[in-house]
C-alpha cells in the first residue's frame, strides 16, 4: 500500500521537481494541488495519509491550510516546506502541529527518504 | 591634498644685520660728504684771503703814491692845501703795512725808507730850507724807493696770483670730486630707496597673498564644516567648545552662540574624572588612546538624550592641541544595522526559493530522473549544479552570520562519530576537488571519534575548511582530511599545500568578511571561517591554523570527546610548570592552552584583574602576556610577577600589536600573533622553561 501524499505548492517549478523526485519512489502515491482551495477540494476524492505544504502561498498560507486540513481530517500528519530555515521559524511551524519541516533548497533525490523519516519520527 | 608646511617666523638675525649695516653706510657717507664740504670751504676761504691781500697791496701802493703826490705838490707850490691827503694816505699805508700778510719784510722796509724820506724832506721844507728839500726830491731817491716798492709789490702780486690760481684749480678739482660724491650718494640712496620700496611692496604682496590664502582656506573649512552632515564640534585644549557646525546645532538644539565658550560637559560626557582635559580624554603628544567612542549620551537643549557615536580627531595648532569631535546619531546607525539585517534575511530567503528549483532540477538531471545524459551534457549539469550549490552556501553563510549576530544559531547535541562527518564532507567536496584537479585524502583514525554535537553544523565547518583548502591548492596536490583522538580531544585537521595565509590577514582570519585567499580564487563570502569559529566555539572547541612544514596550511579544530569532561585534566598536569596566560580573546586562550598541553599547566586569564587574582595563589614559572586586554596593558603585570625567591618571572609578550622597544627589552621573548605560529610559541615556552628547570626541580 503506497503512501498517499497530498502536496500543495503554488510554484509550478517546485511542483514539477517534487513530482519528478517523488515519482522515483514507487511507494508514494502523490496528489499535487496548485493552491490550498484545490487541495481542500481534492479531499473530497481522496483521503491522504500525509500532506506536504508550502508555507508561503497567496490567498491562504501553509499554516492556515494546515488548520483547514485538520478541521476536516484531524490528526493528518503535515510536513511544511519553507525557505525560512531559522530555528525559531521551524519551531513556530512545529508548534502549529506540523510533524516536520523541510527547508528549501532540498535534495530531490533524498526527498522521499526525508519525508518518511519525518513521518516516522 | 597636500599639507602646507607650518609657517616660520622671519629671520631676526638677517633683519638686524641689514638694520645695522644700512645706517652705518649712511653715517659713513654723511661723514665723508661733510669732510669734503669742510675741505672745499677751507679752499674758498684761502682764495678769498689771497684776493684781499692783493687788493690791500694795491691800496698800499696807491696810499704811498698819494702821500708822495701830496709831498711833491706841497714842496713845489708851498701850498698847504696839497698836504691835506698826506696824513690820511700815510695812516692808511701804515695800517696796511701792519695788516698780516700784506707787507712782506722787504715791502715793509721800503715803506719805512719812503716814510723816512717823506718826513725828512717835509721837515726841511718846514724849516724854511725849501731849496734843500726840493733838491732832495729832485735827487730821485724817493722815486727810486717808490720804484723798488712797486716792483716788490708787483712780485708779491704775481706770487699771490699764482697761489690763487693753484688754489682755484684745487678747488675746482675738489668741487668736481664732491659733485661726483654727491651724485654717487644720491644714486646709492635712490637705489636703497628702490630696494626698500621693492621689498616693502613684495612683503605687502606676500602678506596679501597669505591673507587671501588664509581667507580662502578659512572659507573652505567653514564651508566643509557647515556642509557636512556629521555634527562637528571643535574643542580647545581645555575642553571648551570653540565652534560647532549647523549639524551639531541641529543635533543638540543649541545655537552656536549658546554653546561656544562653554565646556563640552554641558552637552556631552566624553571626559570623566579629574585633572586636565587632555589627561581625562587620553590625549598624549597628539595621540588619542580612544579615537572613537561608541554610543555616548548627548544632552539636547530640551533635556532629552541622544545616543551618538563620537569620532575624535586631533588638530595640532600652535595654540595647543585642539580636538575635532564628529558626532553621529547612533540610533540611526542601529536602525540602519537592523534594516541591513532584515534586508539580508529577506534577500537570503527570497533567493533560496528560485534556487530550490534550480538545484532540484539539476539534481534530478544528474540523478537520471529524466533520462541518462550524454557525457558533455552531464559535465555542464555538474558545473551548473556546483555553482548553484555554491550560491546556496553563500546565502546560507549570510543567513548564518545574521543568526550568530542575533544569537539565534541553535546547536543540536547528539552523539556522533566525527569520522562520519569527515566522510560526508569528503563526499560532498568530491565534485569540487575533481573540478580543480585536487586529490582528497581521508586519513581518519580506525576507531570512532565520538563527540556530542550538531552533525549538520560540524559538517558545515569541515566542508568549509575542505572547500577553502581545495581553493588554495595548486592542481595536482592533495588535501588531507584527518580526524583522530589526540591528547584527550577529538581533532579534525585539514591540510593543504597552498601558498599559505598572507601575513596581513593572519590576525583577523577568523573575523567576518576576511578571506585569506587571493583574488584569483573562487569568490568567497568571507564569512565561512567566522561561522566555523562560532560553530566550534558553541561546541566548546577551538579552531586554529598553522603553517605546515614544507609549505601549505593546516586548519584544525578540537572538540571535547564525548564523556571526557570527568578527566579533562590529566593527573600528570600537576607536575608541569605553571604558565600564566593573559589574553582577552577566548580563542587565543583556548588554542594556546591546547598547544601547550603536556608542556605547561596553563592558567588562563582574560583580564589584568583575573591575572592578579591568580597571582595571589603563587607565582607562575613563566608568563605569556598580551599587550592589550580589556582592563589595561599586559606588561603592567611585570612588576607583580616575582617568585618566592624574589626573582622576576620571565615574561613572553604574545600580541598582535607592535611592542615598544622598552618593553621588548625587558621581555624574555616577544612573539607576534600571526607572524609566529603556535609551534614557535611552544618552542619558545619549552626553551624558557628548560632554562629554569634547575630552580623548578629544586
pLDDT of residue B143: 86
Pick the residue with more confidence: B664 or B605?
B605
Distance of alpha carbon B632 from its chain centroid, rounded?
A: 29
Q: Give the confidence band of B693 by pLDDT, cuts at 50, 70, 90.
A: low
Return d(Cα B354, Cα A83) in angstroms, integer.
10
pLDDT exceeds 90 at position B297: no
In the predicted model, what is the mean pLDDT of residues B192-206? Answer: 92
Return d(Cα B153, Cα B114) in angstroms, integer.
14
Give me Rg for the CA atoms of chain A: 13
pLDDT of residue A105: 87
Chain B residues closer than 8 Å to A9 by CB = none
**B307 CB-near residues (< 8 Å, 6+ apart):** B295, B296, B297, B298, B329, B330, B331
pLDDT tens digits for range B530-558: 889 989 988 989 999 988 888 899 999 99
CB-CB neighbours of B336 under 10 Å: 10
pLDDT of residue B172: 84
Q: Which residues face B297 on adjacent strands?
A: B307
Give the SS3 label for residue B619.
coil
Handedness of CA A87, A90, A96, A97 (dihedral sign): negative
DSSP string computed for B549-583: TTS-EEEEEEEEPTT-GGGSS-GGGGGSPEEEEE-
pLDDT tens digits for range B221-260: 888 887 888 889 999 998 999 989 888 999 899 998 999 8
Residue B357 touches chain A, beta carbons under 8 Å: yes
Chain B residues closer than 8 Å to A11 by CB = 353, 357
Q: Which of B436, B520, B427, B510 is nearest to B470 (CA)?
A: B436
SS3 content of chain A, % helix, strand, coil (to 5): 45, 20, 35
Chain A residues closer than 8 Å to B364 by CB = 17, 20-21, 108-109
pLDDT exceeds 80 at position B60: yes
pLDDT tens digits for range B2-27: 455 677 787 888 888 888 887 888 88
Q: Which of B307, B571, B532 is nearest to B421 (CA)?
A: B532
Helices (H) and strands (E) in chain B, counts: 18, 21
Return d(Cα A85, Cα A87) in angstroms, integer.
6
pLDDT of residue B287: 86
Q: What are the start-end ranges of the H helices in A30-110?
A: 36-42, 62-72, 87-95
Query: Is the distance from CB of B671 to CB of B680 less than 8 angstroms?
Result: yes
Pick the residue with more confidence: B560 or B517?
B560
Encode B130-167 in three state secondary structure. Answer: HHHHHHHHHCCHHHHHHHHHHHHHHHHHHHHHHHHHHH
Chain A residues closer than 8 Å to B394 by CB = none
Return d(Cα B179, Cα B519) in angstroms, integer.
88
Cα-Cα end-to-end distance for chain B: 66
The shortest C-alpha distance from A21 to chain B (Å) reads 7
Pick the residue with more confidence: B20 or B573?
B20
pLDDT of residue B302: 92
Indicate yes or no: CB of B403 within 8 angstroms of CB of A86.
Answer: yes
In the predicted model, what is the mean pLDDT of residues B129-154? Answer: 87
Q: Which of A22, A4, A1, A5 is nearest to A79 (CA)?
A: A5
pLDDT of residue A101: 94
In the predicted model, what is the mean pLDDT of residues B570-594? Answer: 77
In the predicted model, what is the mean pLDDT of residues B150-160? Answer: 86
Pick the residue with more confidence: A84 or B514?
A84
Return d(Cα B463, Cα B481) in angstroms, integer.
10
Residue of B344, B346, B360, B396 best to disrupt the A interface, most CBs of A under 10 A: B360
Question: The C-alpha cell of B263 is what?
Answer: 565646556
**A89 CB-near residues (< 8 Å, 6+ apart):** A82, A101
pLDDT tens digits for range B474-483: 999 999 999 9
pLDDT of residue B524: 56
pLDDT of residue B566: 42
Question: The C-alpha cell of A70 is what?
Answer: 485538520
| DSSP conformational letter for B627 | S
In the predicted model, what is the mean pLDDT of residues B514-529? Answer: 57
Return d(Cα B335, Cα B520) in angstroms, integer.
36
Return d(Cα A50, Cα A46) in angstroms, integer.
11
**B72 CB-near residues (< 8 Å, 6+ apart):** B137
Cis peptide upstream of residue B620 (ω within 30 degrees of 0):
no
Residue B256 to residues B229, B301, B310, B603, B648, Cα–Cα distance (Å): 16, 12, 19, 55, 57
Which of B38-47, B495-504, B565-574 is modeled with the greatest confidence?
B495-504
Distance of alpha carbon B398 from its chain centroid, rounded?
A: 43
pLDDT of residue B474: 92
Q: Is B680 exposed, middle or buried (0-12, 13-18, 19+ CB in 10 A)?
A: middle
Regarding beta strands B622-625 and B578-582, do their DSSP bridges make them parallel or antiparallel, or are they unpaired? parallel
Question: The C-alpha cell of B629 is what?
Answer: 586586554
pLDDT exceeds 90 at position B403: no
pTM above the 0.90 mark? no
Q: What's the mean per-residue pLDDT of chain B?
A: 84
| Residue B294 parent element (H or E) | strand B292-299
Return d(Cα B335, Cα B348) in angstroms, integer.
20
| B369 → closest Cβ in A14, A20, A84 | A20
Q: pLDDT above 90 covers what percent of chain B? A: 19
| B353 → closest Cβ in A21, A83, A87 | A83
Sheet of strand B553-560: strand arrangement: B439-442, B478-486, B489-495, B553-560, B542-547
Residues 358 through 387 of chain B touching chain A, CB cutoff 8 Å: 359-361, 363-364, 367, 369-370
Query: Is the distance from CB of B256 to CB of B243 less than 8 angstroms?
Result: yes
Give the SS3 label for residue B89.
helix
Query: Is the distance from CB of A8 to CB of A69 less than 8 angstroms?
Result: no
Chain B residues closer than 8 Å to A84 by CB = 349
Q: Which residues of A66-103 are buried (b: 16+ CB within 10 A; e: fewer)?
A: bebbeeeeeebbbbbbbbbbbeebbeebeeebbebbbb
pLDDT of residue B253: 92
In the predicted model, what is the mean pLDDT of residues A58-75? Answer: 91
pLDDT exceeds 90 at position A79: yes
Question: The C-alpha cell of B84 is what?
Answer: 691835506
Give the SS3 label for residue B540.
coil
Amino acid at each position: 500500500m503506497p503512501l498517499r501524499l497530498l502536496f500543495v505548492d503554488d510554484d509550478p517549478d517546485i511542483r514539477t521537481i517534487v513530482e519528478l523526485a517523488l515519482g522515483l519512489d514507487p511507494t508514494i502515491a502523490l496528489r499535487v494541488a496548485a493552491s490550498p482551495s484545490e487541495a481542500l477540494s481534492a479531499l473530497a476524492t481522496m483521503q491522504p495519509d500525509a500532506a506536504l505544504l508550502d508555507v508561503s502561498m497567496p490567498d491562504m498560507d501553509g499554516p492556515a491550510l494546515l488548520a483547514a486540513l485538520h478541521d476536516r481530517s484531524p490528526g493528518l500528519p503535515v510536513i511544511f516546506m519553507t525557505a525560512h530555515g531559522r530555528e525559531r521559524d521551524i519551531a513556530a511551524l512545529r508548534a502549529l502541529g506540523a510533524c516536520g519541516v523541510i527547508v528549501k533548497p532540498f535534495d530531490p533525490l533524498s526527498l522521499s527518504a526525508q519525508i518518511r523519516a519525518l513521518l516516522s519520527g | 591634498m597636500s599639507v602646507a608646511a607650518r609657517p616660520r617666523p622671519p629671520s631676526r638675525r638677517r633683519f638686524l644685520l641689514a638694520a645695522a649695516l644700512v645706517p652705518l653706510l649712511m653715517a659713513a657717507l654723511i661723514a665723508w660728504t661733510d669732510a669734503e664740504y669742510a675741505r672745499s670751504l677751507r679752499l674758498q676761504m684761502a682764495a678769498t684771503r689771497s684776493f684781499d691781500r692783493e687788493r690791500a697791496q694795491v691800496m698800499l701802493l696807491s696810499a704811498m703814491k698819494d702821500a708822495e703826490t701830496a709831498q711833491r705838490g706841497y714842496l713845489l707850490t708851498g701850498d698847504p692845501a696839497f698836504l691835506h691827503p698826506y696824513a690820511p694816505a700815510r695812516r692808511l699805508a701804515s695800517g696796511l703795512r701792519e695788516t698780516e700778510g700784506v707787507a712782506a719784510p722787504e715791502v715793509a722796509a721800503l715803506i719805512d725808507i719812503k716814510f723816512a724820506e717823506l718826513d725828512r724832506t717835509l721837515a726841511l721844507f718846514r724849516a724854511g730850507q725849501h731849496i734843500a728839500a726840493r733838491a732832495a726830491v729832485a735827487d730821485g731817491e724817493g722815486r727810486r724807493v717808490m720804484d723798488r716798492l712797486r716792483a716788490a709789490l708787483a712780485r708779491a702780486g704775481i706770487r699771490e696770483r699764482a697761489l690763487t690760481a693753484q688754489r682755484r684749480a684745487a678747488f675746482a678739482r675738489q668741487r668736481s670730486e664732491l659733485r661726483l660724491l654727491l651724485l654717487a650718494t644720491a644714486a646709492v640712496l635712490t637705489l636703497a630707496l628702490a630696494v626698500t620700496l621693492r621689498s616693502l611692496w613684495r612683503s605687502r604682496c606676500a602678506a596679501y597673498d597669505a591673507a587671501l590664502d588664509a581667507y580662502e582656506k578659512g572659507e573652505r573649512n567653514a564651508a566643509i564644516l557647515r556642509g557636512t552632515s556629521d555634527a562637528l564640534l571643535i574643542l580647545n585644549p581645555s575642553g571648551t567648545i570653540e565652534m560647532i557646525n549647523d549639524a551639531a546645532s541641529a543635533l543638540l538644539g543649541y545655537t552656536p552662540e549658546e554653546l561656544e565658550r562653554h565646556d563640552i560637559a554641558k552637552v556631552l560626557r566624553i571626559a570623566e574624572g579629574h585633572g586636565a582635559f587632555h589627561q581625562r580624554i587620553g590625549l598624549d603628544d597628539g595621540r588619542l588612546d580612544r579615537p572613537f567612542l561608541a554610543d555616548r549620551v548627548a544632552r539636547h537643549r530640551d533635556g532629552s538624550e541622544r545616543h551618538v557615536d563620537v569620532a575624535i580627531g586631533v588638530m595640532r595648532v600652535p595654540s595647543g592641541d585642539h580636538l575635532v569631535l564628529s558626532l553621529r546619531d547612533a540610533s540611526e546607525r542601529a536602525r540602519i544595522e537592523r534594516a541591513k539585517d532584515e534586508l539580508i534575511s529577506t534577500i537570503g530567503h527570497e533567493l533560496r526559493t528560485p534556487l530550490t528549483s534550480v538545484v532540484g532540477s539539476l539534481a534530478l538531471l544528474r540523478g537520471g530522473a529524466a533520462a541518462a545524459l550524454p557525457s558533455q551534457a552531464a559535465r555542464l549539469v555538474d558545473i551548473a549544479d556546483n555553482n548553484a550549490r555554491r550560491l546556496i552556501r553563500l546565502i546560507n553563510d549570510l543567513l548564518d552570520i545574521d543568526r550568530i549576530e542575533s544569537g539565534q544559531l541553535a546547536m543540536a547535541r547528539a552523539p556522533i562519530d566525527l569520522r562520519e562527518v569527515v566522510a560526508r564532507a569528503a563526499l560532498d567536496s568530491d565534485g569540487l576537488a575533481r573540478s580543480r584537479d585536487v586529490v582528497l585524502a581521508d586519513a581518519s583514525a580506525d576507531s570512532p571519534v565520538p563527540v556530542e554535537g550538531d552533525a549538520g553544523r560540524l559538517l558545515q565547518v569541515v566542508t568549509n575548511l575542505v572547500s577553502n583548502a581545495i581553493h588554495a591548492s595548486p592542481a595536482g596536490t592533495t588535501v588531507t582530511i584527518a580526524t583522530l583522538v589526540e591528547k584527550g580531544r577529538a581533532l579534525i585537521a585539514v591540510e593543504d599545500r597552498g601558498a599559505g595565509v598572507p601575513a596581513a590577514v593572519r590576525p583577523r582570519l577568523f573575523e567576518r568578511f576576511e578571506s585569506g585567499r587571493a583574488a584569483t580564487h573562487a569568490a568567497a563570502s568571507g564569512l565561512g571561517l567566522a561561522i566555523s569559529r562560532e560553530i566550534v566555539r558553541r561546541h566548546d572547541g577551538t579552531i586554529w591554523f598553522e603553517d605546515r612544514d614544507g609549505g601549505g596550511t593546516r586548519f584544525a579544530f578540537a572538540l571535547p570527546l564525548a564523556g571526557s569532561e570527568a578527566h579533562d585534566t590529566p593527573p600528570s598536569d600537576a607536575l608541569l610548570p605553571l604558565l600564566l596566560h593573559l589574553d582577552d580573546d577566548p580563542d587565543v586562550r583556548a588554542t594556546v592552552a591546547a598547544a601547550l598541553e603536556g608542556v605547561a599547566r596553563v592558567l588562563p586569564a582574560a583580564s589584568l584583574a583575573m591575572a592578579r587574582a591568580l597571582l595571589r595563589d603563587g607565582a607562575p614559572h613563566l608568563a605569556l602576556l598580551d599587550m592589550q586586554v580589556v582592563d589595561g596593558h599586559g606588561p603592567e603585570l611585570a612588576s607583580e610577577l616575582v617568585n618566592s625567591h624574589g626573582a622576576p618571572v620571565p615574561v613572553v609578550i604574545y600580541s598582535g600589536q607592535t611592542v615598544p622597544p622598552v618593553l621588548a627589552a625587558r621581555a624574555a621573548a616577544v612573539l607576534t600573533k600571526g607572524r609566529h605560529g603556535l609551534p614557535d610559541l611552544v618552542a619558545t615556552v619549552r626553551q624558557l622553561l628548560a632554562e629554569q628547570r634547575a630552580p623548578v626541580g629544586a
